[in-house]
Structure 1
Amino acid sequence: MFSPIYIVLLVAMVVSWLVQRRLKSKFEQYSQVGLQNGLSGKQIAELMLADNGITDVRVISTEGRLTDHYNPADKTVNLSEAVYAERSAAAAAVAAHECGHAVQHATAYNMLQFRSAMVPALSAVSRFMPILLIAGVFLLNRTPWPLGAGVVLFSLTTLFAFVTLPVEFDASKRALAWIDKRGIVTPQEHAMAKDALWWAAMTYVVAALSSLATLLYYVSLFLGGRRNS
């Protein structure tokens, strides 16, 4: 019989794959629908930044697909090549969402500040955590404490994944409110943009739950090692 935690991990992997596949399918579908106003992702991003009085953020193109992100370190909205140039409902949704993060940064949104403050610690943790987890599993029959240290560090990455959720949902909320107020999309295009952003948000939800499931797996190993030591 499989342990419940193994079943949870397997379900998390399958759900993650299904959500990612659905997200790609949605973006491909909505990328085929041209915006009635004819604006590109780049133009929409620049317009949203201007409307929010943000003049020190650049909109640039980055390689890949679904690689869009906002970088608070150098204040750049990085749009994937397709989103940067496309004039579609999907491009409008993504461009406005990433600008939503820029608005969060400009207005000192507390959850984004908290998330950004965690980044240096996570960068340091990422160097040692995999080593401690692997070594901890191999040394479990002798001592559970290396794995215990790995679990503590991994819990920080899980916390980061959950802190990311309100940041992402808020950015999408800001994006949809702005594109409606500005008249960027028609009602039909709004529905597409909202659906695309919802599936994008689900990838973060699944990632957070998968991280939690993995953390529980390592915790169960640690507790079992303590009982046997």
Structure 2
Amino acid sequence: MAGAYLIGIIVFAVSAFVSWRLRSKFNEYSQIGLSNGLSGAEIAQRMLNENGIYDVRVLSVEGMLTDHYNPQDKTVNLSADVYYGRSVAAAAVAAHECGHAVQHKVAYGPLKFRSAIVPFVSVASQYMQWVILAGILLINTSLIPLTIGVALFAATTLFSFITLPVEFDASKRALAWVQTRGIVTQREYDYAKDALWWAAMTYVVAAIGSLATLLYYVSILMGARRND
């Protein structure tokens, strides 16, 4: 039990550091103007067009680091700093989100699978903590609620790991495009690569944290089964 708490503390600390580092990098590279003067919105539109994608809209959304691609309504949603920004950070983020649109167009396997299980994972995320809590409270009466709760949590953990290749591949596509199309200089490319690497690390830490929590719940369930 103590070991599980220690792992939880370590994961939380690493997650906090990575999140801080990402924001720090984004703020740093947001101050470095892009040599070609293009905005994030212009870069996104150009990347979409050059990949033969004309049915995806580029929109501005509120918040910081709220950028995302929505395959349901085919929109690349960029935060104001990225949409209007003319910086290395804006270029990196805009191209990354368009990388997801390219994945959608070419039917990239992990993205298709992730999109397919989104409805189930959304429901699981909404109820799993309550089911697990009920399972722990009823652990001496029945193990069924806890078993169901652990299964739901396992689904969300699987989702977090499926997200990893999707995010890394989108960054790979983005970096390759901005480099081959001359969108960035070599120096700007290095900065963009660094920014996207830290962004990817947030997903890695989240996946590891989810796995650690899942193993903790599994240990509780297995211990209860042995004592049953």
TM-score range, shorter chain: over 0.9
What is the match of residue 138 of structure 2?
Answer: 139
Distance in structure 2 (CA, Å) of the matches to 1:194 and 1:42: 19
CA shift digits 1:11-35 (9 cap, x unpaired): 1111000000000000000000000
Aligned-residue Cα RMSD (Å) equals: 1.0
CA distance in 2, matches of 1:123, 1:143: 26
Residues 202-227 of structure 1: per-residue CA shift (max 9 Å, x gap): 00000000000010011111112222
Count of equivalent residues: 228
Greater Cα shift, 131-140 or 154-163: 131-140
The amino acid across from 1:70 in the alignment is Y
Q: Does the alignment pair 1:18 with 2:56?
A: no
CA contact (8 A) 1:141 1:228 kept: no
8 Å CA contact 1:9, 1:213 repeated in 2 = yes
8 Å Cα contact 1:143/1:225 also seen in 2: no
Instruction: In structure 1, list runs of 5 or more residues that go unmatched.
Output: none
Decide which moves more: 128-137 or 206-215. Answer: 128-137
Shift of 1:79: 0.2
Stretch of structure 1 that moved more, 124-133 or 214-223: 124-133
Mapped to 1, the partners of 2:99 and 2:70 lie a distance apart of: 12
Aligned partner of 1:206: which letter? V
C-alpha separation between the residues in 2 aligned to 1:123 and 1:28? 31
C-alpha separation in 1, matches of 2:124 and 2:2: 29
Partners of 2:126 and 2:35 in 1: how far apart? 48
Aligned equivalent of 1:180: 179
Uncovered stretches (5+) of structure 2, i.e. residues with no partner: none
Cα deviation per residue 1:119-150 (whole Å; 9 max; x = unaligned)?
A: 12112323431221111111223333211110
Shift of residue 98, structure 1, vs aligned partner: 0.1
3-state SS of the aligned residue for 1:146? helix
Give me the whole-angstrom Cα distance separating, in 2, the residues matched to 1:135 and 1:89: 48
Question: 1:162: which partner in 2?
Answer: 161
2:68 maps to which residue? 69
Specify the code of the residue in structure 2 equivalent to 1:50: N
Amino acid at match of 1:219: V
Aligned AA (2:219): S
* Cα deviations by residue, 1:86-137 (Å, 9 ceiling, x for unpaired): 0000000000000000000011111100110111211232343122111111
Give 4+ residue runs of structure 1 displaced > 4 Å after superposition.
none
Report the Cα distance in structure 2 between the residues aligned to 1:56 and 1:82, rounded to whole angstroms.
Answer: 24
Paired residue secondary structure (1:53) = coil
* Aligned match of 1:45: 44
* TM-score (norm. length: structure 2): 0.97
**Deviation by residue 1:131-172 (Cα, 9 ceiling, x = unmatched):** 211111112233332111100111000000000000000000
TM-score scaled by structure 1?
Answer: 0.97
Aligned to 2:108: 109
